[in-house]
Amino acid sequence: GWQVSMKSGSLSCILPCNRLPVQLMSQVRVYTSNGQKKDLGSEDTNGSARGETLHKVETGRQDTANAGQKQSSPKQPIQVKVKAVLKKREYGPKYTQNNFITGVRAINEFCLKSSDLDQLRKIKRRSPHDDTETFTVYLRSDVEAKSLEVWGSPEALARERKRRKEAEIKYRENLFRNQRLLWEYKEFFGNTKPRSSTAAMFFKGPGKVVMVAICINGLNFFFKLLAWVYTGSASMFSEAIHSLADTCNQALLALGISQSARTPDPSHPYGFTNMRYIASLISGVGIFMMGAGLSWYHGVMGLLHPHPVESLLWAYCILAGSLVSEGATLLVAINEIRRSARAKGLSFYQYVVQSRDPSTNVVLLEDAAAVLSVAVAATCMGLTSLTGNPYYDSVGSLGVGTLLGTVSAFLIYTNTEALLGRSIEPEQLQRLTELLESDPVVRAIHDVKATDMGMSKVRFKAEVDFDGRVVTRSYLEKQDIEQLLQEIQQVKTLEELETFMLKHGENIIDMLGAEVDRLEKDLKQRNPDVRHVDLEIL
């Protein structure tokens, strides 16, 4: 593995190495063929041994090469350069025990009290949150030692952890039992609790639209059912079923709106906003099964077993009233969607197709289908009364069922797309990308993903290649350069150099974390729809 080259009577050797060393300081020694040694750098025992061995090997080779030569000539000195490198360090428990741990974790995982932590060393670290500058952490080794001091042995600590876990399970069971008793108490004595913010949601925005639709469709169902009982019309039966399906589905939407207002918990850290999409999806399935299915069934039965239709005067009056009420609900939904679309900078069509507000979309499409179905039912009933042919009425029932099936298919498709986690618009994604790329600390970004989490909440993820020179310069701008220069001039040994590099290396890593926090904050401030930002460092 030795590579030897002869130039001008001197021998230069290159030492092979199977791993890349960290070159910190060069030490050079000159060894002559007559055994004399001249130091050109700092002393190193391992380097001397290596140099003496190398000298012996090279002297032997020189003698072999000159064995056939009879002439005598003075030998030139052999110079060997050896570079000192920092030995690779094996990181064991000595280093992992220096990990930091927060006070909450220390109390929960090691069964300590807050007073126990007061006696430990406190270290201030950079906070990852925007509302606090720094927070206090503790050395894990100190916390472990304190827990053994408090509990006596690891076995006692394990028993205490098991006991606390069992107590927590029992507490949750009692909490569930108490909540159930409280609910029964409210049912018996009445709930006198003031109106909550969840109830206030039904007096504005999508909640208001849904409540208006529930009231109107409930009344329409009642009167249409009376008209069907009086006339026996298949089209009127389809209309009654349609209004019943709308009422049930909108009640389900109201439940979805109330559930979506719940605050995030550890089991659902991103909240419950998707409950609106789930309720709308179930609503679409309900329209298809309950509305379209029964209308098709009644229409087919009317074609197979036709029967004469009684007087349709009352049916026409009820249909006219239904047309007015459904039209009023439709106008409320249209105005709400126009207002929301204008606030988002979207057109009416884009807002509906992208299902930005699933609850209002369901009301809009159901009421639009209701107005069209009233027109279809009135037309077919009119043809039946003019011609006396009951088949027209059955065809009208099939038409209403087909219309409801189309609406349900559209709702199922749009809400499924929203629940799958679709990407945001390319223009919006381009704006977010350009904002990151325009920052001087960012060299490049890769694997950019932006997902619409529902209700105009976006989660943004990207892998960022940071410019280390810019980050280091930002760190140096906050340092006293004169003091830093003095620290560098005081470095004389490898140990001092290692201490210096470790100190400022850790500070530069903290500076990199601060840059990540700054970029995330800028993305959220300039794009209010972005609620969650995940930047991965390359």
Task: Tell me what pLDDT residue 43 has.
Answer: 43
| Secondary structure of 319-361 in HEC code, one letter for each residue | HHHHHHHHHHHHHHHHHHHHHHHHHHCCCHHHHHHCCCCHHHH
The CATH number fitting domain 426-537, selected from 3.30.70.1350, 3.40.50.150, 1.20.120.420, 3.30.450.20: 3.30.70.1350
Q: Provide the CATH number for the domain formed by 203-420 in this structure.
A: 1.20.1510.10
Q: Is the pLDDT of residue 194 over 50?
A: no
pLDDT 10s digits, 502-528:
888 888 988 898 899 899 989 988 888
Mean pLDDT of 483-495: 89
Q: Is the pLDDT of residue 132 over 90?
A: no
Single-letter amino acid, residue 111: C
Q: Is the pLDDT of residue 494 over 80?
A: yes
Distance CA 303, CA 299 (A): 6
First to last CA, the chain: 36
Task: Tell me what pLDDT residue 101 has.
Answer: 82
Q: Is 206 within 8 Å of 351 (Cβ atoms)? A: no
Distance CA 458, CA 530 (A): 5
Question: What is the percent of the chain with per-residue pLDDT over 90, rounded to a whole number?
Answer: 3
Q: Is the pLDDT of residue 98 over 80?
A: no
| Secondary structure of 248-294 in HEC code, one letter for each residue | HHHHHHHHHHHHHCCCCECCECCCCCCHHHHHHHHHHHHHHHHHHHH
What residues are paired with 530 via a beta bridge?
Answer: 458
Distance CA 146, CA 143 (A): 5
pLDDT 10s digits, 312-352:
677 778 778 878 887 888 888 888 888 888 887 778 888 88
Distance CA 231, CA 353 (A): 39
Q: Is 533 within 8 Å of 433 (Cβ atoms)? A: no
Q: What is the CA radius of gyration of the chain?
A: 40
Q: Is 377 within 8 Å of 368 (Cβ atoms)? A: no
Distance CA 185, CA 191 (A): 8
If we measure between CA atoms, which residue out of 370, 318, 351 comes closest to residue 206? Answer: 351
The rounded Cα 333 to chain-centroid distance in angstroms is: 32
Q: Is the pLDDT of residue 82 over 80?
A: no
Single-letter amino acid, residue 296: W
Task: Tell me what pLDDT residue 195 has.
Answer: 42
Task: Tell me what pLDDT residue 384 has.
Answer: 82
pLDDT 10s digits, 247-305:
888 888 888 888 887 877 777 777 788 888 888 888 888 777 777 887 888 788 888 88
Q: Is the pLDDT of residue 353 over 60?
A: yes
Q: Domain map of the chain by residue range?
A: 100-152, 203-420, 426-537
User: Whole-model pTM?
Assistant: 0.57
Q: Provide the CATH number for the domain formed by 100-152 in this structure.
A: 3.90.530.10
Q: Is the pLDDT of residue 372 over 80?
A: yes
| Strand-by-strand arrangement of the 100-102 sheet | 100-102, 134-139, 123-126
Distance CA 41, CA 30 (A): 10
Q: Is 419 within 8 Å of 281 (Cβ atoms)? A: yes
What residues are paired with 101 via a beta bridge?
Answer: 138
